[in-house]
């Protein structure tokens, strides 16, 4: 459990393909994660059992859930129900704040 996250003190985890993440804070029920994308980086289609909220801190993204496509800019947010296929493409370099419930155990292993 990491109940406090200071982004200046946490290290980026390189994911490759122009993406990296910082795990901010979490407990068994909730996790917040910063995800940074370079221009043109693609968050490949995937699904997971966790409900996810993504909030755009900076940049621009084309985000899709199934066949529904959204253009997202700073201040926009979206909720993805667990089990839904989703992904995004970064139009302009930026950062998302992703919140998961329950927390993503796979992120801390």
Range 13-104: architecture per CATH: Sandwich (2.60)
Q: What is the pLDDT of residues 72-83, one digit of tens each?
A: 999 999 999 999
Q: What is the pLDDT of residues 39-67, one digit of tens each?
A: 999 999 999 999 999 999 999 999 999 99
Q: Is 27 helix (H, G, I), strand (E, B) or coil?
A: coil
Rounded to whole angstroms, the Cα distance separating 59 from 9 reads 23
């Amino acid at each position: 459990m990491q109940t406090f996250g200071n982004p200046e003190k946490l290290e980026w985890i390189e994911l490759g393909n122009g993406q990296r993440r910082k795990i901010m804070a979490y407990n068994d029920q909730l996790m917040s994660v910063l995800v940074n994308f370079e221009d043109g980086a693609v968050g490949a289609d995937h699904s997971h059992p966790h409900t996810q909220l993504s909030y755009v801190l900076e940049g621009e993204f084309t985000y899709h859930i199934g066949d529904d496509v959204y253009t997202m800019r700073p201040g926009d947010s979206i909720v993805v129900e667990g089990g839904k296929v989703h992904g995004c493409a970064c139009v302009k370099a930026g950062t998302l704040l992703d919140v998961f419930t329950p927390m993503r155990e796979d992120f801390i292993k």
